[in-house]
Structure 1
Amino acid sequence: MLEIPDQFKEKFTRLLGEAAAADLFAALRQPSKKAYRINTLKEGRVSYSQEKPVPGIPHAYYGEVSGKDPEWTSGLVYSQDPAAMFPAQAIPVQPGDRVLDLCAAPGGKSTALGQKLAGQGVLVANEISPSRAKILRENLERWGVTNAVVTNADSASLSARFPCFFDAILVDAPCSGEGMFRKSEDAIKYWSQENVDLCADRQKEILTEAVKMLKPGGYLLYSTCTFSPEEDEEIVSWLMDEYGFKVLPIEATAQAAAGRPEWGNGAVSLENCARFWPQDGVGEGQFVACLKAAGENAQAFASVKKGREKKEKKKGKGSKNRLERPSKEEAGYISEAIAGFNWPESLATWPSQVLKSQDHVFVPALDPAQLKGIKILNNGLELGLLKKKRFEPSHQLAEVLGQVTQERVVDLDERDYERYLHGESLQVASGLKGFVLVSSRGLVFSFGKLSGKGQLKNYYPKGLRQ
């Protein structure tokens, strides 16, 4: 049985009262809920049950998915805690916006934001941990997002590059993780009031940098997976008092409880925050606040931005690190390798945008000059790699091309699909030759290369093989 820390029980009995606290403690001892979202950027049929929709989240359902199924490897579904789906749903994002997911790994919220943008505008998805940033990139790649920049940086480094830049910023902040008690033994093991206070200080540090990157009148979505007021209503109150943010109403479900003004600065608008308690039946614990910046927000940073741009313009003269366009010969190799595939409408002009960096060919989502000094894992769509007198298309491109109907496809049965995931080459019956898309149950998940004798060479990435 889950052992809840005594100090935690005392704290929330004091905050909630004995009856409500008892409901919370009982819920924390129940099994956690699993759910998944369907990727509307892609076409395909999901074999999982859709009998129990997650209330308030379009195309989301309760149920468990497998990382070995074609639905997962093709990026048609994403497994996510149902309550954790609400931050990306609550932030006002439209196609064409500039959006930042500041603490983005493993990528559940980033994939949802990329889906909202529908290939227009730009999504910067950042993660400070290198190992978690790699997972973030893999999830966005599988989801088929073409306009994302995946960065591995701290918030201060980003704010120096992007003052007053974003229309919307999502900060799902590192927290004490009280909402994860029934999913993670470590969350219980490391819980203490001292850690709650430490997390609150860290959240202010991160948000201080986030505010610098938000446009006047922009939206800031702040969320945690914890219950403590020190990390929730008190942080929102600090944003209101320090920076003049307004707390906007959130269209959530009937199961979401309102924020508690008495746990913050007393402002009635704190009721606009949404609290998801385990006993409410949606999912794990989640706190969500949608804030709007004042119209004069970040004017203090305008001079910083102007000064930085002027300095970089002068410094950038005669730079030896400029990216190149592929040569005419290289463009021929690229065209030959990927001829015959249908492209999403958002990438119709890719030939005029393509750049090359150390033989990597890509369509950038942001001008690489804007990203100088930041560790970049991915900028837009990686088309593939130039090799000696040939071109090898990327796994990301396969996942993107899976968004539209294709003719150059080899569809595998269940047995061959499992073999392909293991990294085996296959013998198939097909009249095609050269690079083809590989699918199972009609869901594209990889590239392969067919010889004239029907030998399908395996191009599924080694790091993803099962």
Structure 2
Amino acid sequence: MKELLGEKDYEAYVRSFDEERLYGLRVNTLKITPENFTEITSLSLRPVPWTANGFYYEGDERPAKDPYYYAGLYYLQEPSAMTPASLLPVVPGDKILDLCAAPGGKSTELGAKLNGTGMLVSNDISSSRAKALLKNLELWGIENICVTSEEPKKLKETFGAFFDKILIDAPCSGEGMFRKDADMVKSYEEHGPEYYAQIQKEIVNQAVDMLVPGGLLLYSTCTFSVCEDEDIIRFILEQHQDMELVSLPLFEGASDGIGLSGCLRLFPHRIKGEGHFMALLRKKQSSPLPDTIGKLPEKRTVLPEELTEFLSMTAKPIDQSRIRIKHEMVYYLPEGFPEHAGNLRFLRTGLLLGEMKKGRFEPAQAFAMALKVQEFKQRVCWEKSDERVIRYLKGETISLKEEEGQIKGWCLVCVDGFPLGFAKGTGSTLKNKYYPGWRWQ
């Protein structure tokens, strides 16, 4: 680091370790604007300068113990880690791959930017980490997802040149996380930069081949090591003549690449964050690669009567040709989903609508989170201060107040107009259908 920064800058870098780590959250723009969120939250927030929907909060606050968190209104994320997804220029209809996606900080932002269009494939090689990724995507109400747990090579063999945008937040030595997580120091001592550089080269080689001509690839790490950062970008440019570097704009506190202009570096002594490296590359149009899979064929699934009856209660636009029923589970596939990719290890294909159970349809928690309050005919809405909100999140049966009237059948439970999940009314009582694995602890 002394060689990297120089004597004076190095001293400032070392002093930054005596400062407290910073805490951040990013607002879910699928559900609420940053401006509206600041009006309703009780958290003490300050804007993150480089991310429009990012905020700092105080370390003694507990935003994960708030009904708005359970409503998917925000994601807890280290401020500098918000930068990669914010810099990838997503447009409606994009097919996006987040290659090393768990636990979902960058995928949730990419999904929000797609705003229900196109498709987001979020992959993590670790099955257990991919499960946490899936929860975060569903909590955010992102419906056009595919969550996989595969080696990048297997994805390349299946998809070929398919994606418009790819984000690689690569596994790395984690120097930028030392202040945040002391265990990262132990990991660094076991596996240093050279170990991770080899893994990174393997990953980027597979990723480039999955990018369509004209497509963009954003590479990022949370380390400061040149051999894991600029050297990997040089490796891509040397190995793939059809790739070119796209300069990222500097902002206050950000630094240019070291020996490779156009990259972006964030250091903890120059910004209020832990640190990150980013570079954006484009595949030139002159070297097309053929797609290996086709699009979702147009076919109309004959839906069970119970499912049709439930769907009649929602005003959410649903294209019936994209509904699939497999092993009694009902899925709503993303537009253009490649069904020939069925050989992959999927944790989820699209939005889980629910499950067929002996002549009835049971809606899924993920379906509730993808709805807006006005999109379900029968609903109950409580203020956050209502003690029944926490009781509902804990899985308890809820009694309605006399003035709320009687409710029979499925209803959407909301806090301040934001869905939390489903319940089933039996008159003045709501039978709790909140997903047990998500309950308030």
Normalised TM-score (structure 1): 0.86
- Whether 1:58 aligns to 2:58 is no
Q: Does 1:287 align with 2:277?
A: yes
Match of 1:276?
266
Q: Could you tell which deviates more after superposition, 413-422 or 207-216?
A: 413-422
Moved more, 275-284 or 193-202: 193-202
Matched, 1:195 2:192: yes
Residue 428 of structure 2 is aligned to residue 460 of structure 1: no
- 1:167–1:230 distance in 2 versus 1, CA, 3 Å: same
- Secondary structure of 1:433's aligned partner: strand
Partner of 1:417: 389
Find the counterpart in structure 1 of residue 348 from structure 2: 378
In the TM superposition, residue 120 of structure 1 has moved relative to its aligned partner by 0.9
Q: Tell me the amino acid that sits aligned with residue 399 of structure 2.
A: Q
Match of 1:34 in 2: 23
**Among 354, 357, 367, the residue aligned to 1:397:** 367
8 A Cα contact 1:70 1:441, kept in partner:
no
Instruction: Measure the CA separation in 1 of the matches of 2:329 and 2:300.
Output: 11
Deviation larger for 432-441 or 128-137: 432-441
* Residues in 1 aligned to 2:408 and 2:179: alpha-carbon distance in whole angstroms: 51
> Per-residue CA shift, 1:39-97, capped at 9, x if unaligned?
12114744145752111211221115522312111111111111111101111210111
Matches of 1:349 and 1:286, distance apart in 2: 40
Match of 1:7 in 2: none
What is the aligned counterpart of 1:354 among 323, 328, 331? 323
Q: Distance in 2 between matches of 1:68 and 1:383?
A: 27
Greater shift after overlay, 131-140 or 67-76?
Answer: 67-76
Q: Report if the CA contact (8 A) 1:215-1:297 is conserved.
A: no
Cα deviation for residue 406 of structure 1 reads 4.8
> Is contact 1:50–1:61 with CA below 8 Å preserved after alignment?
no
State the distance in 2 between where 1:241 and 1:298 align.
Answer: 18
TM-score (norm 2): 0.90
Distance change >3 Å, CA 22–CA 298, structure 1 → 2: farther
Residue 199 of structure 1: how far off its partner (Å): 0.2
**Residue 131 of structure 2 is aligned with which of 116, 130, 134?**
134
1:345-376 deviations in Å (ceiling 9; x for gaps): xxx24333211101111111154623222111
Residue 342 of structure 1 contacts residue 401 of structure 1 at CA under 8 Å; is this kept in 2? no
Q: Secondary structure at the match of 2:47?
A: coil
Unaligned runs of 5+ in 1: 1-11, 262-269, 310-321
Deviates more, 1:425-434 or 1:443-452: 425-434
Change in Cα spacing, 1:155 to 1:190, as seen in structure 2 (3 Å) is same
Match of 2:188, SS state, is coil
Match of 1:156 in 2: 153
Kindly report which structure 2 residues correspond to 1:171-182, keeping only aligned pairs within 5 A, or say none. 171-182=168-179
Cα offset, 1:101, TM superposition: 0.3
Contact 1:123-1:147 at 8 Å conserved across structures: yes
Q: Which one of the candidate residues 405, 421, 424 is aligned to 1:446?
A: 421
Give secondary structure in 1 for the equivalent of 2:261. helix
Contact between 2:67 and 2:390, CA under 8 Å: does it hold in 1?
no
Counterpart secondary structure, 2:46: coil
Deviation at 1:461, TM superposition (A): 1.0
> What residue identity is the alignment partner of 1:455?
T
CA 247–67 in structure 1, closer or farther in 2 if over 3 Å, else same: same
- Distance across 2 between alignment mates of 1:444 and 1:349: 18
1:418 is matched by which residue type in structure 2? I
How far, CA to CA, are the matches of 2:64 and 2:235 in structure 1? 41
Task: State the distance in 1 between where 2:338 and 2:47 align.
Answer: 41
Structure showing the higher helix proportion among its residues: 1
For 1:144, what is the secondary structure of its paired residue?
Answer: coil
Greater displacement, 222-231 / 432-441:
432-441
In structure 2, how many angstroms separate the alpha carbons of the residues matched to 1:224 and 1:286?
Answer: 6
Partner of residue 319, structure 1: none
2:166 corresponding residue in structure 1: 169
C-alpha displacement of 1:340: 2.9
Contact 2:45 2:57 in 1 (8 A): no
Moved more, 84-93 or 225-234: 84-93
**Structure 2 match to 1:339:** 312
Instruction: Tell which deviates more after alignment, 247-256 or 186-195.
Output: 186-195
Aligned-CA RMSD value: 2.3
Q: Which runs of 4+ in 1 moved over 4 A?
A: 48-51, 324-328, 403-407
- Following superposition of structure 1 onto structure 2, how do residues 176-325 of structure 1 map, counting pairs within 5 Å? 176-192=173-189, 195-244=192-241, 245-261=243-259, 270-297=260-287, 299=289, 302=290
Structure 2 gaps, min length 5 = none
Name the structure 2 match of 1:266.
none
The CA distance in 2 between the partners of 1:376 and 1:232, in whole Å, is 30
SS in 2 for 1:278: coil
Letter in 2 for 1:21: Y
The superposition leaves residues 219-257 of structure 1 with CA deviations (integer Å, 9 ceiling, x where unpaired) of 010000000001001111111111132221223521111
Of 115, 118, 122 in structure 2, the residue corresponding to residue 121 of structure 1 is: 118
For 2:90 and 2:301, locate their aligned partners in 1 and report how far apart those are by CA, in whole Å. 34
Cα distance in 2, alignment partners of residues 403 and 223 from structure 1: 36
Q: For 1:280, what is the secondary structure of its paired residue? A: coil
Contact 1:325 1:355 in 2 (8 A): no
Measured after TM superposition, the shift of residue 411 of structure 1 is 2.6
Q: Percent same amino acid among aligned pairs?
A: 39
1:416-466, CA deviations, whole angstroms, 9 ceiling, x for partnerless residues? 1222222111111332211111122332111111112x2211111111112
